Homo-oligomer: A and B are copies of this chain.
Amino acid sequence: MINQQLNENQQDINEGDISQDRYGDVTLIQQQQKTNRFWIKVCEINESLLGKTILVRARIHNSRIKGKIAFLILRENQSTIQAVLTKGEQTSSQMIKYIGKITLESIVDIEAVVFQPNIQIKYCTQKMELHIKTIRVISRSISKLPIQIEEASKRDVDYFYNLEQQKQKENQQENTVIQDIQEYQLSQNQRLNNRVLDLRTPAKQAIFRVKSGIALLFRQFLIEKGFIEIHTPKLLGFKTKNSYSNFNLQYFNQQAFLSQSSYIYKQLSIMADFERVFEVSPVFKAIHGNTYRELCEFICMDLEMVIKEHYTELLDLTEELFLFILKGIEKRFGQEIQIISQQFQFEPIKISQPIIKLTFQDGIKLLQEFDILQSPQYYLTISNQKQLGKLVKDKYGTDFFIMYRLPKEDQPYYVMPCKMDPNFTLSYRFFLRGEEIASGHQKIHDSEILINQIKAIGQDAQLLEDYISFFKFGTFPHGGCAFGLERFLYLYFDLKNIRNASMFPRDSSRLFP
Contacts and interface: CB of A to CB of B under 8 A. Distances in A.
Contacts of A117: none
Interface string A274-318: 110000011010101000000011010000000111111000000
Nearest to A419: B32
B237 A208 contact: no
A297 B234 contact: yes
A73 B420 CA distance: 36
A139 interface: yes
B141 A32 contact: no
B2 A417 contact: yes
B309 A485 contact: no
A200 B272 contact: yes
A383 interface: no
Contacts of A282: 231, 233-234, 281-282
A32 B235 CA distance: 35
Contact of A446 (B28, B196, B205, B271): B28
Nearest to A426: B32
A161 interface: no
A184 interface: no
Nearest to A77: B273
A216 B219 contact: yes
Kindly report how many copies of this chain are found in the complex they form together.
Answer: 2
* A34, A299, A452, A466: residue with the most chain B Cβ atoms closer than 10 Å: A34
Nearest to A286: B252
A119 interface: no
Nearest to A295: B233
Given A33-B309, A236-B511, A297-B234, A269 B503 contact: yes
B309 A473 contact: no
A1 interface: yes
A375 interface: no
A29 interface: yes
A511 B248 CA distance: 13
B249 A248 contact: yes
How many A residues touch the partner, as a band? 35 or more
Interface stretch (A45-53, A86-94, A222-230, A319-327): A222-230
A299 B288 CA distance: 29
Nearest to A104: B474
A59 interface: yes
B248 A229 contact: no
A309 B474 contact: no
Contacts of A196: 268, 271-272, 470, 473
Contacts of A312: 34
A422 interface: yes
Given A216-B219, A235-B296, 10 more contacts: A32-B309, A35-B309, A107-B476, A138-B477, A199-B273, A232-B503, A265-B504, A268-B513, A269-B503, A470-B513
18 contacts: A1-B422, A2-B417, A3-B422, A31-B309, A33-B419, A106-B474, A139-B477, A200-B272, A204-B272, A212-B229, A215-B229, A231-B503, A234-B297, A236-B511, A249-B249, A249-B250, A281-B282, A466-B512
Interface of A: 1-3, 5, 28-29, 31-35, 37, 39, 57, 59, 76-77, 103, 105-107, 138-142, 145, 195-197, 199-200, 204-205, 208-209, 211-212, 215-216, 219, 223, 228-237, 247-252, 254, 256, 258, 265, 268-269, 271-275, 281-282, 284, 286, 288, 296-297, 299, 307-312, 416-419, 422, 426, 444-446, 449, 452, 466-467, 470, 472-477, 485, 502-504, 506, 508-509, 511-513
Query: 3 closest pairs, A vs B, by CB?
Result: A199-B272, A237-B511, A141-B474
